Amino acid sequence: MATIEMHGTTILAVRRGNAVCVGGDGQVSLGQTVVKGDAKKVRRLAGGSVIAGFAGATADAFTLLERLESKLEQYPAQLTRACVELAKDWRTDRYLRRLEAMMIVADKDVTLTLSGVGDVLEPEHGVTGIGSGGDYARSAATALFNETELSAEEVVRKAMAVAASICIYTNDALTIETISSD
């Protein structure tokens, strides 16, 4: 029996000035079929002080979000520490090692990309993207970031529209969350 590969998701984060914005599309595809168009792949954690967006297998991503929430309770207001501890568990735990997902997480101070191979990466220029359309969105966001004075949210919206117009696994049903340090 052939396996059906699940595709989809574009998650983009842009940090500009005193704000960070994370946006995600809503499309879930199974093979060549769109099975859901309005999935919520961006969520708030830690009482709203952290935004997390996920790409990959949904059940795996929910497991990781729960683990991250637990790490944030253990290390309040220490997003980087919580993410490093999660990445350690993700690499060493037999169950977690099999999870297929990536995450972008952000709070008022830091934006991080997490992967199952132990990566906890902070973007160099305030823009990062993951998922099937992540490179398209990140490229568009980088150009908009460097060539305009648009807000973080405006950059995310425009860059996600570019990704949706190029990537067949990305749509324009966006979930957008912003944290401002004002």
Q: Is 9 among the residues known to form the active site? A: yes
Cα-Cα-Cα-Cα dihedral sign, residues 162, 163, 167, 170? negative
Task: Report how far residue 17's alpha carbon sits from residue 37's, in angstroms, rounded to the nearest whole number.
Answer: 32
Q: At CA 114, angle to CA 112 and CA 116, rounded to 5?
A: 170
Whole-angstrom Cα Rg for the chain: 16
Annotated catalytic residue, options 3, 9, 80, 92: 9
Task: Report how far residue 39's alpha carbon sits from residue 118's, in angstroms, rounded to the nearest whole number.
Answer: 26
Q: Which residues are catalytic?
A: 9
